């Protein structure tokens, strides 16, 4: 119990300068991150989607339960047509076979409407669907909702059994470490 109290005190001390800056309006707000932990059931959802060629709404909307038995990657990102999001999704495109392969379902999720997604997917020539979550209801279930009205950059891997096998709550669009960790998680989900 003493160790837990010491850890909590250390965390509070480490966050104090950031909290003061955020309260004064000089930094990003500190957010408590929630969402399904590894080993937990992934919350089900249904959302409209777009690819570079097609839009799926109504009865054609994407439903997570339909992909039970497959590995699913959920990549929450802030907005279409931004530099960091273009980098992330282009990296997914360029490394698709290396990171994912043909048996993995990859889904990008942001607040943008499906028509904006369609244009963005066409511009980047993306081989996967972009889902529209304008009210951030799904982002909230996955701890990816930013109170400023866009999604935080997070990535979840859902195994064939419908459980979260991996989550990265601060996915880095630039660099390689987040992509390599994602690749390892996907490979691990195939062995389960």
CATH for 168: 3.40.30.10
154 with 171, same domain: the answer is yes
In this structure, the answer to whether residues 154 and 81 fall within a common structural domain is: yes
Given the DSSP bridges, would you call strands 104-110 and 55-56 parallel, antiparallel or unpaired? Answer: unpaired
Show the domain range for 11.
1-30
From the list 66, 67, 47, the residue with the least C-alpha distance to 57 is 47
**pLDDT of residue 45 exceeding 60:** yes
Q: Please tell me the distance from the alpha carbon of residue 188 to that of residue 184, in angstroms, as a whole number.
A: 6
Average pLDDT rounded to a whole number, residues 41-56: 97
pLDDT for residue 128: 97
Q: Are residues 52 and 137 in the same domain?
A: yes
Residues 101 and 126 in one domain: yes
Q: What is the pLDDT of residue 20?
A: 39
The pLDDT of residue 182 is above 80: yes
Do 111 and 156 lie in a common domain?
A: yes
**Does the pTM exceed 0.85?**
no
Residue 139: which of 150, 128, 125 has the closest Cα? 150
In which band, very low, low, confident or very high, does the pLDDT at 26 lie, cut at 50, 70 and 90? very low
Cβ distance 76 to 154 under 8 Å?
yes
Number of independent structural domains in the chain: 2
Asked whether residue 26 falls in the same domain as residue 110, the answer is no
- Number of Cβ within 10 Å of residue 126's Cβ equals 21
Strands 55-56 and 49-50: antiparallel
Picking from 173, 4, 156, the residue whose alpha carbon sits closest to that of residue 72 is: 156
Distance separating alpha carbons of residues 57 and 183, to the nearest angstrom = 30
Looking at the structure, tell me whether residues 22 and 114 fall in a common domain: no
Q: Which backbone phi and psi does 60 adopt, to 5 degrees?
A: -95, 5
The arithmetic mean of pLDDT across residues 80-103, rounded, is: 95
What whole-number distance in Å separates Cα of residue 74 and Cα of residue 166?
A: 10
Name the DSSP class of 55. Answer: E
Q: Are residues 3 and 96 in the same domain?
A: no
Domain shared by 57 and 78, yes or no: yes
For the cut 50, the answer to whether the pLDDT of residue 104 exceeds it is: yes
Q: Cα–Cα distance between 33 and 150 in angstroms, integer?
A: 15
Q: Are residues 15 and 71 in the same domain?
A: no
Mean pLDDT taken over the chain: 87
Report which secondary-structure segment, H or E, holds 157. Answer: strand 154-158
| Residues 42 and 26 grouped into a single domain | no
d(CA 162, CA 58): 23
Based on the domain organization, do 123 and 175 belong to the same domain? yes
């Amino acid at each position: 119990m003493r160790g837990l109290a010491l850890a909590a005190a250390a965390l509070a001390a480490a966050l104090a300068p950031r909290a003061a800056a955020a309260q004064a309006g000089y930094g990003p707000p500190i957010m408590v991150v929630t969402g399904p932990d590894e080993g937990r059931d992934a919350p089900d959802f249904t959302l409209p989607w777009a690819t570079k060629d097609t839009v799926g709404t109504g009865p054609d909307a994407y439903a997570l339960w339909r992909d039970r038995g497959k590995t699913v990657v959920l990549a929450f990102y802030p907005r279409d047509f931004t530099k960091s999001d273009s980098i992330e999704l282009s990296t997914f495109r360029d490394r698709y076979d290396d990171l994912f392969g043909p048996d993995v379902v990859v889904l990008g999720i942001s607040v943008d409407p499906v028509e904006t997604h369609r244009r963005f997917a066409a511009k980047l020539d993306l081989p996967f669907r972009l889902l529209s979550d304008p009210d951030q209801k799904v982002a909230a279930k996955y701890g990816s909702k930013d109170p400023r009205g866009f999604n935080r950059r997070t990535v979840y891997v859902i195994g064939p059994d419908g459980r979260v096998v991996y989550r990265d709550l601060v996915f880095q669009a630039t660099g390689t470490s987040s992509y390599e960790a994602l690749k390892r998680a996907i490979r691990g989900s195939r062995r389960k």
